[in-house]
């Protein structure tokens, strides 16, 4: 008996005829379409979930890096008359210049930081004040590039810049005045008295992070030095780098440039636990959604079992005509594999389309729900987005195809092992 080449043309032809069941065998066709739709929906759900998770992660990291330094250089370089370490650096200008010269650093700026209480219109709020030069503030992307920013940043030296959340909480806008109250004020013979200064709001920014917008305010560097009793000093040096994901590689060069008494704090140190939690959640979400793909792929078994049962007579005739067990096995493997391939392709198209048009879809859902689907008051970002990543698409499609191919083996093997005499006994 001559052997046929695996997956010959006639094997594909027979498999295709079985998939296109006649009207009298409509149950087989229905099961095939149920399998295709089930796999498509499972793959779509997996891709859509991973895209939304990737979008959330990207938005979070972008928000975090937009308003905060990639690396903060801090430390002390002396002691006060009482022998206590002095926070920050007196030679901040020289240190900043050396740090800015390190390859990979895009910007370095001395900063004064302090926590005070802001008050206006009878409302009080905690405020985190950053003292910064006007030229340095103008280079912070989240402060100058916000879609809802308003005011005149060129008047920064004449007032204070505050976040939109803080402005809303205090009920102030551009042109209004707020008072900043610090417990560590002027030192007198009777002790330290609180310092209360009033500043005009010259600019209101939206950084993209509700948490930052609720507490952040910027003062001119010289004014912040005076207000926080930091004359001639800077608390720390903010450093922005070209590739934030590679901050670890710059730590040693930055420490050498910063000099004695300096230490580093990177954005990964501040958000590392949260990012690690997101990574674990992403992996668990992929595993859980993969179970849906497995359940959908199990429909292929049901469809093939029905197909084998209905085609028992055909299998007996084909075996009598000389078809080998391998050919029968491959015919039914093709049936299951084509079903899985069709469902996977449809699911990939649906998932990619969902990620591409996620914003209008989300806006429609938000409109139907009457608004408030995404509340930035309880989440670290203002907007939810979807980011389609090639690796996620390949992983979802590959998983669906592998499972689809694997579940076809057992029903196809049963068809191949069918005894032609038994199949034709009652025909």
DSSP string, 90-128: SSHHHHHHHHHTSTTEEEEEEEEEEEEEEEETTEEEEEE
pLDDT in tens, 279-328: 888 888 888 888 888 888 887 777 777 666 666 666 666 666 666 666 77
DSSP structural state of residue 89: B
d(CA 351, CA 48) in angstroms, rounded, equals 5
Q: Report the range of poorest mean pLDDT among 8-22, 30-44, 155-169, 376-390.
A: 8-22
183 neighbors 229 (Cβ within 8 angstroms): no
> What is the model's pTM?
0.71
For residue 164, count other CB atoms closer than 10 A to its CB.
Answer: 22
Q: What is the mean pLDDT of residues 8-32?
A: 63
d(CA 202, CA 335) in angstroms, rounded, equals 70
Measured CA angle at 60 (ends 57, 65), to 5 deg: 125
| pLDDT for position 211 | 79
d(CA 224, CA 316) in angstroms, rounded, equals 91
Show the tokens assigned to 105.
């650093």
The b/e string for 80-110 (b: 16+ C-beta within 10 A; e otherwise) is eeeeeeebbbbebeebbebbbebeebebbbb
d(CA 404, CA 342) in angstroms, rounded, equals 10
For residue 6, count other CB atoms closer than 10 A to its CB.
Answer: 10
pLDDT in tens, 145-162: 777 788 888 889 889 999
Q: Which of 400, 396, 397, 414 is nearest to 333 (CA)?
A: 414
- Phi first, then psi: what are they for 8, rounded to 5°? -70, 170
Q: Name the pLDDT band for 189 (thresholds 50, 70, 90).
A: low
């Amino acid at each position: 008996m001559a052997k046929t080449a695996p997956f010959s043309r006639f094997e594909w032809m027979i498999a295709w005829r079985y998939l296109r069941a006649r009207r009298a065998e409509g149950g087989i066709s229905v099961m095939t379409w149920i399998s295709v739709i089930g796999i498509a929906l499972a793959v779509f759900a997996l891709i859509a979930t991973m895209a939304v998770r990737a979008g959330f992660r990207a938005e979070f990291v972008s928000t975090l890096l937009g308003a905060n330094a990639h690396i903060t250089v801090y430390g002390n370089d002396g002691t006060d008359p009482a022998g206590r370490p002095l926070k920050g650096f007196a030679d901040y200008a020289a240190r900043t210049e050396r740090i800015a010269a390190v390859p990979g650093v895009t910007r370095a700026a001395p900063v004064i930081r302090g926590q005070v209480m802001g008050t206006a219109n009878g409302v009080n709020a905690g405020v985190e004040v950053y003292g910064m030069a006007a030229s340095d503030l103008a280079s912070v992307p989240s402060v100058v590039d916000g879609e809802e920013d308003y005011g005149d940043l060129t008047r920064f030296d004449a007032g204070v810049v505050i976040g939109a959340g803080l402005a809303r909480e205090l009920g102030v806008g551009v042109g209004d005045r707020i008072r900043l109250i610090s417990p560590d004020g002027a030192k007198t013979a009777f002790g330290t008295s609180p310092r209360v200064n009033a500043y005009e709001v010259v600019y209101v920014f939206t950084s993209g992070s509700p948490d930052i917008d609720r507490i952040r305010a910027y003062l001119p560097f010289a004014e912040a030095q005076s207000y926080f009793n930091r004359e001639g000093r800077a608390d720390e040096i903010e450093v922005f780098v070209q590739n934030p994901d590679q901050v670890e590689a710059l730590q040693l060069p930055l420490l050498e440039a910063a000099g004695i008494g300096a230490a580093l704090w990177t954005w990964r140190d501040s958000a590392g636990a949260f990012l690690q939690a997101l990574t674990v959640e992403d992996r668990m979400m992929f595993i859980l959604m993969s179970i849906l793909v497995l359940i959908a792929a199990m429909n292929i078994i049901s469809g093939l079992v029905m197909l084998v049962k209905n085609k028992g007579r055909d299998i007996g005739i084909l075996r009598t005509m000389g078809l080998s067990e391998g050919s029968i096995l491959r015919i039914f493997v093709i049936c299951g594999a084509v079903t899985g391939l069709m469902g996977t392709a449809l699911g990939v198209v649906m998932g990619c389309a969902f990620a591409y048009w996620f914003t209008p879809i989300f806006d429609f859902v938000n409109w139907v729900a009457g608004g408030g689907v995404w509340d930035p008051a309880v989440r670290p970002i203002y907007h939810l987005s979807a980011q389609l990543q090639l690796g996620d698409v390949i992983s979802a499609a590959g998983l669906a195809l592998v499972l689809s191919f694997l579940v076809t083996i057992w029903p196809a093997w049963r068809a191949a092992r069918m005894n032609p005499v038994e199949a034709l006994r009652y025909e």
